Amino acid sequence: MEVAKAPSKKSQPKIPTKKSRGASANEKRLSHCYAEQLRERTVARVNTFKQYGLNLDHVGIGVDDIDGDMIDIFLEISSTDEFFRQDRMLALKANCYDMNDVLISMDETYMYLDKFSGYNTYRISIWRKRIAKNTKRIVIYTAE
């Protein structure tokens, strides 16, 4: 007597899930709204950049299309006449605060001052469940 085998998982068609199908138009619109609100509420501590002879020329913010679990912060930085190459590493930091002004998340990326060409774009990615929805204010600054 021969028993029929169940089809293997490889031969079964995949059913699109929320993650695999991409974001709907409504989800994209929602993430765009979150990003716009965060741009309006972003505070850059420019004096922390100036003390190293740097200008913070532009801050861009993007939000994950599907769940709002990630915020991407793009920093365009240029040098001023006072900039001088130093053999040190500078941390570019971003803090996320909720509506009660409580720190809920933060991240950083590093900039090597001795290798800085005079203009560059840096990215800070902050991952946390519903971070875009829960963040009411972002503060950007530098630290050693």
Looking up residue 58, the CATH number of its domain turns out to be 2.60.40
Query: Does residue 15 register a pLDDT over 70?
Result: no
3-class state of residue 105 by DSSP: strand
Judged by phi (left if over 0) then psi (alpha if -120 to 50, else beta), residue 36 lies in alpha
Give domain status of residue 2, yes or no. no
Provide the token pair at 10. 């490889």
* Total residues found in the chain within this entry: 144
Task: Kindly state the percentage of the chain with pLDDT values over 90.
Answer: 54
pTM of the entire structure?
0.77
Question: Structurally, how many domains does the chain consist of?
Answer: 1
Give domain status of residue 4, yes or no. no
**Strand boundaries in 81-136, DSSP class E:** 89-97, 103-112, 119-127
Query: Does residue 12 register a pLDDT over 80?
Result: no
Give domain status of residue 31, yes or no. yes
Q: What is the pLDDT of residue 107?
A: 96
Q: Print the domain residue range for 67.
A: 24-143
Give domain status of residue 59, yes or no. yes
pLDDT in tens, 50-77: 999 999 999 999 997 667 789 999 999 9
Give domain status of residue 1, yes or no. no
pLDDT bin (cut points 50, 70, 90) of residue 122 is very high
Which of 7-16, 34-43, 97-106 tops mean pLDDT? 97-106
Query: Does residue 7 register a pLDDT over 60?
Result: no
Return d(Cα 63, Cα 49) in angstroms, integer: 25
Task: Kindly state the percentage of the chain with pLDDT values over 70.
Answer: 79
Give domain status of residue 110, yes or no. yes
